[in-house]
Amino acid sequence: MKWTAPACLAALVATAGLAVALQPHPGDAATAAPASDGVLIHGARVFDGERDLGIADVLVQDGRIAAVGAGVAAPAGVARIDGRGHTLLPGLVDAHVHAWGDAQRDMARFGVTSALDMHGDAARLPALRSARESVADSGQADLWAAGFAITAPGGHGTQYGFSVPTVDAGTDIDAFIAARVAEGDDFIKLIVEDLSAYGTAQRLPTLSGQQVAAVVAAAHARERLAVAHVATLADARMVVDAGADGLVHVFTDTVADDGLVEALRARDAFVTPTLSVVASMAGSGEGKALAQDPRLQPLLTVEQTGTLERDFGPPHPARLEQAIESVRRMHAAGVEILAGSDAPNPGTAHGASLHHELELLVRAGLTPAQALAAATSRPAQRFGLAERGRIAPGMRADLVLVAGNPLDDIRATRAIEAVWKNGHRVARAIEAAGPAPAPAPEATVVSDFDGGRIDATFGNWQATTDRMAGGGSDVEHALVASGAGGSPGALRVAGEVRPGFAFPWAGVMFFPAAQPMQAVDLSGRGELVFRVRGDGRSYNAMLFSGASAQGMPSVQTFVAGAGWQEVRLPLSGFAGGDLARVRGIAFTAGQPHGRFEFILDQVELR
């Protein structure tokens, strides 16, 4: 992931339990699972993960593939499915996700039956291993995971709401990696990221070249792959020279040069470009277009639609062009490319975005067959995903049946007719829609802070700081006398933004509904108006809105000077904001670290 500060705050609000999740619909029991004696898929074109087998039959029994070929007989009791005009694929593998909540079920509904989780709490690793060893009717994707990514204190990866062990100058790296392997890491992921690729002044601490080399050596000594998050060409060169097995993002600061491409090829290192999230960073709008694809749209949850409709910060079109050209050069030189989405970052959604990634890989020069292999057999082989990624006798019966032929048009993977996980048919229906936004209140004044309590004409106020994600910033908010224009009162917001968190913040948040992050329709309003005075710092006004409570906020800034001033922020100025579904408005201090104070009064939504 590559989070800007506003995006990080959005994720952390969700982490704090303010998100609204929709559960998949249980579906019809008759279609949720096949007959207990198995299934025969007859007459479909079969892509086995490596090559086109032509028209063939595939027999599934006891959760595994029993036979593949022409004229396979169906034993008594086996259900028979007519696959003519369709293509049967191995269950897809997403080689870069960050999975929580309903992610595994969402992936399975879109034919992604296995995935590689690139950073998360190691406590769940034993359960993930147990689940993927089973052939039960789970209805969800299996996960192989890195556990905690390897990063520096306060570095990228420490900002997501759970405690992460880190590597500093005094760390015994061999013992550190031994501990991660003992926790159950399936592979080791390093993070080499200081934010220099994104044109911002902020820098994060990150791993040194010496530390990277030591982590790679310790991982290899324990028969684990070592893969790296990088964002610049220079960092990519450094980690490849240190012996990393692969890059799990393509860098976006420039195009890959001949030296790096040759180093990748010579070391047999792979690259998972995650072009879907690069497209979001570019501001391409491709995530929104994916959400509107009629083959996918009925299967998307409100949450998934919300993340797809968001772009990742200010647009940088050149990033996608450079990334695609880098992939084109790598692929042409024989560097192995794997398909990964980096879901659920803005512009992506679990399951659906792997189909977008396939299209982008073809755009970057892979043939459809090569792109499909990059999402099936190739990641399975590289990461040792036993019994996955192929259609062959003895393999898991993780299968996807699509209408048409994706070997001719890769976008045919979106026309999914059926998915099987461990030989069981996956229920794919979802709730038709989430709850409708609450109607706009009649009042335009939110709060004048003239009473004896911190209240609002509608909605409510709450403090918010990075402590919900393990940071150390503090805030206090209280009524004070002598508000703007001589009014009786105002709201004082003061505290300290402290180091120890990658994207620190502290402030207050207004929720327009009775429950935090419940959507309210404010499409009839035009301005956020308030009076403010303070210490001269620049502050953020953040609008949280849209179909998903986990969506990235839209941001405008304001300065709190020494004297009272009226600030008028047009709601249309919150780029990408969905005024029909407003979930919250935050007033926060961020960088630089230090004390802050501002006094807020006469808040209105006109």
- pLDDT band at residue 29 under the 50/70/90 scheme: very low
Same domain, 404 and 504: no
Lowest mean per-residue pLDDT among 114-123, 132-141, 196-205, 387-396: 196-205
Choosing from 401, 425, 449, the residue where a domain stops is 425
pLDDT at 192: 96
Among the three residues 359, 394, 425, which one is the final residue of a domain in this structure?
425
How confident is the model over 539-587, as pLDDT tens digits? 999 999 887 776 678 889 999 999 999 999 999 998 878 899 999 999 9
Question: Residue 33 above 60 pLDDT?
Answer: no
For residues 160 and 469, is the Cβ–Cβ distance under 8 A? yes
- Closest by Cα among 270, 229, 220 to 252: 229
Could you tell me the pTM of the whole model?
0.80
**pLDDT for 547:** 74
Q: What is residue 493's three-state secondary structure?
A: strand
Region for residue 371 given its phi and psi (left: phi exceeds 0; alpha: psi -120 to 50; beta: otherwise): alpha
- Domain assignment present for residue 25? The answer is no
* Residue of 279, 278, 307 whose CA lies nearest to 550: 307
Specify whether 359 is located in the same domain as 491.
no
Burial call 219-251: b when 16+ CB within 10 Å, e when fewer: bbeeebbbbbbbbbbebbbbbbebbbbbbbbbb
Segment 75-89 shows an average pLDDT of 95
Torsion of CA 372, 374, 376, 380, to 10 degrees: 170
Indicate whether 390 belongs to any domain: yes
pLDDT exceeds cutoff 60 at 32: no
Evaluate whether residue 203 is within a structural domain: yes
Residues 464 and 404 in one domain: no
**Containing structural domain, residue 580:** 5-13+436-605
pLDDT value of position 431: 58
Q: Is the pLDDT of residue 25 over 60?
A: no
In which band, very low, low, confident or very high, does the pLDDT at 172 lie, cut at 50, 70 and 90?
A: very high
Average pLDDT over residues 11-32: 29
The 10s digit of each residue's pLDDT in 398-407 is: 999 999 999 9
Helices (H), 333-446: 352-363, 368-374, 377-383
Question: What's the per-residue H, E or C state across 261-314?
Answer: HHHHHHCCCEECCCHHHHHHHHCCCHHHHHHCCCCCHHHCCHHHHHHHCCCCCC
- Residue 553: what pLDDT? 81
140 found inside a domain = yes
pLDDT at position 26:
26
What 8-state DSSP symbol labels residue 14? Answer: I
Least trusted range by pLDDT, from 104-118, 294-308, 357-371 = 294-308
Provide the angle, in degrees to the nearest 10, between the axes of the packed helices 173-183 and 209-221. Answer: 50
The dihedral formed by the CA atoms of 488, 491, 495 and 500, expressed in degrees to the nearest 10? 180
pLDDT tens per residue, range 431-464: 555 578 889 899 999 999 999 899 999 999 999 9
Q: Which two three-digit tokens encode residue 10?
A: 């959005």
Q: Which residue has the higher pLDDT, 487 or 503?
A: 487
- What does the alpha-carbon distance between residue 558 and residue 507 come to, in Å, rounded to a whole number? 14
More confident residue, 394 or 204: 394
Question: Positive or negative CA dihedral for 408, 413, 415, 416?
Answer: positive
Last residue of a domain, one of 377, 395, 425: 425
Q: What is the spatial distance between Cα 408 and Cα 564, in angstroms, rounded to a whole number?
A: 65
Instruction: Give the pLDDT confidence score for residue 550 in this predicted structure.
Output: 66
pLDDT of 124 reads 92
Residue 89 lies in a domain: yes
Residue 211 falls within a domain, yes or no? Answer: yes
pLDDT in tens, 87-101: 999 999 999 999 988
CATH number of the domain encompassing residue 418: 3.20.20.140
Lowest mean pLDDT among 56-60, 249-253, 313-317: 313-317
pLDDT-wise least confident of 480-489, 512-521, 542-551? 542-551
How close are the terminal C-alpha atoms of the chain, in Å?
Answer: 37
Same domain assignment for residues 396 and 506: no
Mean pLDDT of 514-535: 94
Residue pair 1/340 in contact (Cβ under 8 Å)? The answer is no
Report whether pLDDT(30) > 70.
no
Write down the pLDDT at residue 31. Answer: 35
Q: What 3 state SS string does 180-237 have?
A: HHHHCCCCEEEECCCCHHHCCCCCCCCCCHHHHHHHHHHHHHCCCCEEEECCCHHHHH
**What is the model's pLDDT at position 568?**
97
Do 246 and 109 share a structural domain? Answer: yes
Q: What is the pLDDT of residue 551?
A: 67
Find where tokens 């755009």 sit: 363
Count of domains forming the chain: 2
DSSP-derived 3-state class of residue 458: coil
Give the Cα separation of 264 and 245 in Å (integer): 9
